[in-house]
Amino acid sequence: MKVVIAGAGFGGLRLARKLNNKAGFEVVLVDKFNYHQFQPLFYQVATAGLDASNISFPLRKVFQKSKNVKIRLAELKEVLPAEKKIVTDIETISYDVLVLATGADTNFFGNSQLAHHAFPMKSTVEALQIRHRLLKLFEDAHSIADPLELQRLMNIVVVGGGPTGVEVSGALAEMKKYVLPKDYPELDFSRMNIYLLEGAGKTLAAMSEKSSAQSQKYLEKLGVKVMTNTLVKDYDGKEVHLKDNTSIPAATVIWAAGIKGNIPAGLDESLIAKGNRIKTDRYCRVQGFDNIYALGDLAYMETPKYPAGHPQVAPAAIQQADMLAGNLKLLEQKSNPDRMYQFEYTDKGSMATVGRNLAVVDMPKPKLHFGGFVAWLIWMGLHLMLILGVKNRFFVFFNWLYNYITYDQNLRLIFREFNREERRQP
Residue 147 belongs to a domain:
yes
Domain count, the chain: 2
For residue 107, report the phi and psi dihedrals to the nearest 5 degrees: -105, 110
Given the DSSP bridges, would you call strands 69-73 and 358-363 parallel, antiparallel or unpaired? Answer: unpaired
In this prediction, residue 329 carries a pLDDT of 95
Task: Please spell the DSSP secondary structure of 316-345, one letter per residue.
Answer: HHHHHHHHHHHHHHHHHTT--GGGPPPP--
- 142-153 pLDDT tens trace: 889 899 999 999
| Mean pLDDT, range 206-228, rounded to an integer | 96
Task: Report the alpha-carbon distance of residue 25 to residue 426 in Å, rounded.
Answer: 57
Does the pLDDT of residue 132 top 60, yes or no?
Answer: yes
The residue from 236, 257, 278 where one domain ends is 257
pLDDT band at residue 426 under the 50/70/90 scheme = very low
Are residues 197 and 64 part of one domain? Answer: no
Are residues 214 and 300 part of one domain? Answer: no
Query: Which among 126, 167, 174, 198 is annotated as catalytic?
Result: 167
Task: Please spell the DSSP secondary structure of 21-80, one letter per residue.
Answer: T-TT-EEEEEESSSEEE-GGGHHHHHTTSS-GGGGEEEHHHHTTT-SSEEEEE--EEEEE
In this prediction, residue 423 carries a pLDDT of 46
**SS3 call for 397:** helix
* Integer Rg of the chain from CA: 23
Are residues 127 and 35 part of one domain? Answer: no
Are residues 73 and 170 part of one domain? Answer: no
Does the pLDDT of residue 419 top 60, yes or no?
Answer: no
> For the domain that residue 234 is a member of, what is the CATH number?
3.50.50.100
Q: Amino acid identity of 158?
A: V
* Cβ proximity of 67 and 20 under 8 Å: no
User: Phi-psi bin for 334: left (phi > 0), alpha (psi -120 to 50), beta?
Assistant: left
Residue 88 belongs to a domain:
yes
Are residues 283 and 229 part of one domain? Answer: no
Task: Report the alpha-carbon distance of residue 3 to residue 94 in Å, rounded.
Answer: 9
- 77-117 pLDDT tens trace: 999 999 999 999 999 999 999 999 999 999 998 899 999 99
Cα 418 to the chain's mean position, in Å? 29
In this prediction, residue 417 carries a pLDDT of 54
The residue from 257, 291, 326 where one domain ends is 257
**SS3 call for 230:** coil
Are residues 301 and 189 part of one domain? Answer: no
pLDDT band at residue 422 under the 50/70/90 scheme = very low
Are residues 323 and 309 part of one domain? Answer: yes
Pick from 246, 257, 251, 114: nearest CA to 197: 257
| Mean pLDDT, range 158-169, rounded to an integer | 96
pTM of the full predicted structure? 0.91
CA atoms within 13 A on the CB side of 359: 19
pLDDT band at residue 416 under the 50/70/90 scheme = low
In this prediction, residue 338 carries a pLDDT of 78
**SS3 call for 253:** strand
> For the domain that residue 328 is a member of, what is the CATH number?
3.50.50.60
**End-to-end CA distance of the chain, in Å?**
59
Residue 413 belongs to a domain:
no
- 245-296 pLDDT tens trace: 999 999 999 999 989 999 999 999 999 999 999 999 999 999 999 999 999 9
Residue 382 belongs to a domain:
no
Angle at 230 between CA 226 and CA 231, to 5 degrees: 135
Are residues 241 and 209 part of one domain? Answer: yes
| Mean pLDDT, range 36-51, rounded to an integer | 93
* Cβ proximity of 278 and 294 under 8 Å: yes
Residue 383 belongs to a domain:
no
Residue 360 belongs to a domain:
no
Domain encompassing residue 307: 2-106+259-339
Q: Based on the residue annotation, tell me whether 167 is a catalytic residue of this protein.
A: yes
Are residues 140 and 250 part of one domain? Answer: yes
- 181-200 pLDDT tens trace: 999 999 999 999 999 999 99
- 295-354 pLDDT tens trace: 999 999 999 999 999 999 999 999 999 999 999 999 998 887 778 899 999 999 999 999
Are residues 217 and 269 part of one domain? Answer: no
